[in-house]
Amino acid sequence: MRIDLHTHSSVSDGTESPAELVATAAAAGLDVVALTDHDTTAGWAAAAAARPAGLTVVPGMELSCSWSAGEGAPVSLHLLAYLFDPLHPAFTAEQARLRAERLSRAELIVRALAADGYPVVWADVLARSGGGVVGRPHVARALVDAGVVASVDEAFASLLHHRSPYYAAKVDTDVLEGIALVRAAGGVPVFAHGLATSRGRVVDDAAIEAMADAGLLGLEVDHPDHRPDQRAHLRVLADRLGLLCTGSSDYHGTNKRTPIAACTTEPDQYAALLAAGTGSPVLTD
């Protein structure tokens, strides 16, 4: 069994529609794929409708969160959520708030770039998101097409970097509240790429322990942005805290160079995840 539990479609910041994504997953030889767009479940129905026979689709999402402790600035982090009720009122309200936050923040970034003479237009960036969830990859694509940078990677390394003067933060969900919401909706919360230092500051073990106390159920251990020593560290931590371990590609179509199924989840860990989720069924034959 080959299982990839973290992918993005064009409903957020991937480049393939949910239908194309499930076809890509089947063509790559996956048996199970989770659709985990940022802060939305809008792709679930299309993925279900297009699901090829033999492929199981796990409905999921990646929630934009932050960890605040002490006096330092909050650390932004991502929480994967699986098998939750997509109609849970409090959780859907928080997802809507996050999408609105993304919209205003992306507009701030684009208007700041435009004010300095970069040839990007907010209406164009918005159109690129196709009515879905806006993210920096949409701004990055606009910068590439305008010839400002050569690639999405280059845009993220320069103008869109979190230390760029054009960067604007968004107000994300407190991760302990996020975990509680996912659990309340019958879902399985898994901490995404928790030690990926290339994305910015990361939390320490004590924070992950606090997350486990709040109801976290798993750690994404095998991820393209994790080094072998980081994976080993997370595996030991998961064992100590009784958390399940996942492995995933975090596929974004051509917005990133990572292919689908670049990392995968062990069948026993997937079985534990399925057993813990009660808010939505998997889509299967």
- Chain residues in the site for Fe ion (CB under 5 A): 13, 78, 192
- Quick one: 255 or 265, whose CB is closer to ligand AMP? 255
Binding of residue 172 to Zn ion (CB under 5 A): no
Q: How many CB atoms neighbour CB 3 within 10 A?
A: 23
Binding of residue 13 to Zn ion (CB under 5 A): no
| Binders in 237-276 for ligand AMP, by CB under 6 A | 252, 255-256
- Quick one: 83 or 133, whose CB is closer to ligand AMP? 133
- Quick one: 114 or 144, whose CB is closer to Fe ion? 144
* Minimum separation from the CB atom of position 156 to Fe ion (A): 11
- Quick one: 137 or 279, whose CB is closer to ligand AMP? 137
How far the first Cα of the chain sits from its last, in Å, is 15
- Interface with Zn ion (CB under 5 A), residue from 4, 16, 222, 250: 250
Site string for Zn ion, 53-92 (x = CB under 5 A): ---------x------------------------------
* Minimum separation from the CB atom of position 66 to ligand AMP (A): 12
Q: Which of 116, 147, 142 is nearest to 129 (CA)?
A: 142
* Minimum separation from the CB atom of position 148 to ligand AMP (A): 15
Residue nearest to Zn ion (CB): 250
Residue nearest to Fe ion (CB): 78
| Binders in 156-195 for ligand AMP, by CB under 6 A | 156
Contact residues for Zn ion, defined by CB under 5 A? 62, 250
Q: Which residues bind ligand AMP (CB under 6 A)?
A: 13, 38, 135-137, 152-153, 156, 252, 255-256
